[in-house]
Structures are given as C-alpha cells and as structure tokens.
Structure 1
Amino acid sequence: VDFPVDGEMQADTALVEEMLTDSYDFAELDEPANVLVFPNLEAGNIGYKLLQRLGGAEAIGPMLVGMDKPVHVLQRGDEVKDIVNLAGVAVVDAQEE
C-alpha cells in the first residue's frame, strides 16, 4: 500500500485536523482521513449518512465486500451522479476480474 493507513480511532479524531495533530500526533495520517472503516453495517450506514447529509461529503456506495463477486447497491432516491459514480466503481471491479 502506498498511502497512509492508520488503526482504530474515533471518527472525529480521524476527520478533524486539529484533533488529529494535537491529540493523536503519532498517527500515520498527514491530513484528515478520506476513507473510514466501520465495525458493522449499521454503524457504517449511520456514519456515512451523517457525513453525507450534515458534512457535505460525497458518498459513493454502499458497496458490499466479502462476496464471491462485487456487489454495488443503488438506493432509493439516488441521483444521476450517484449512479455514474457507482457505475465507475463497477467498471474498475470488472476490469480487475
């Protein structure tokens, strides 16, 4: 892997640069995280919806992992940009097969 990866930390620490540099100065990250990994589906859904709706983050997904084949899920109310983004991920997955 040629990008920084760090271990467990609270979401606000991972996303707020001042918290990351002040209280977690031993982190591998040079700037706030742009990918978050959650412990289960429910936590991930809550987290990404909050980031998307309240934080203005662009959410791509959800994507299911651990299946024999890639799974990409369109949700009710998705906009054209959501479909295009997820289709792009699907193309990359197909090229890797």
Structure 2
Amino acid sequence: MANIKSQIKRNRTNEKARLRNKAARSEVKTHIKRAVASAETGAETSVEDLRTAVKRLDKAAARGIIHKNQASNRKSRLVRRINALTAAATGDSSEA
C-alpha cells in the first residue's frame, strides 16, 4: 500500500479509469458480436449493427482505450468477415 498522498490519489483515479476502460472494451466486444450474429442470420438490422460496432470502435480509439491502429485492424477484420457472411448467404461464389 502506498504511503505517499499523491500516489494514494493516483491509485484511486487509476482504478476508476480501469473500470471505465473495461466497460468500454466490453461494450465494443458486445457490439462486434451483435453485428456478426445479425449478419449470420441475415437480419434487416445487420447494416445498423455494423455501423454501431464501427462507431464504438472509433469512440474507444478516440478516448485512448484502444490504439487507433488496433481499432482500424478490428474494423477491417469485422467488415471482411461480415462481407464474407453476406456473400455466403446470398450464394455469391465470385469471392474466393
């Protein structure tokens, strides 16, 4: 346990930030899973779910919760995955 007053305060603020960041990362994962699930089922809301997932990734990157390159990589993988799912659902065999 810290004895220095400023370090005690830093420990409190770090804990608050850790919990806030944990909640934001969890929300990002939830929205990504929701977007993939709606693309698999072919729901009408799949486009909106994808848009929301991308928005949450951008917000997390802007707030410094995840790195901007990590957000970019996740968005790229998510869009590629959803495009593959929708292509498979429509029966397009043009993508290999």
Larger relative contact order (CA 8 Å, sep ≥ 6): 2
Of structures 1 and 2, the larger Rg is shown by 2
TM-score (norm: length of structure 1): 0.30
TM-score (norm: length of structure 2): 0.30
- Structure with more helix by fraction: 2
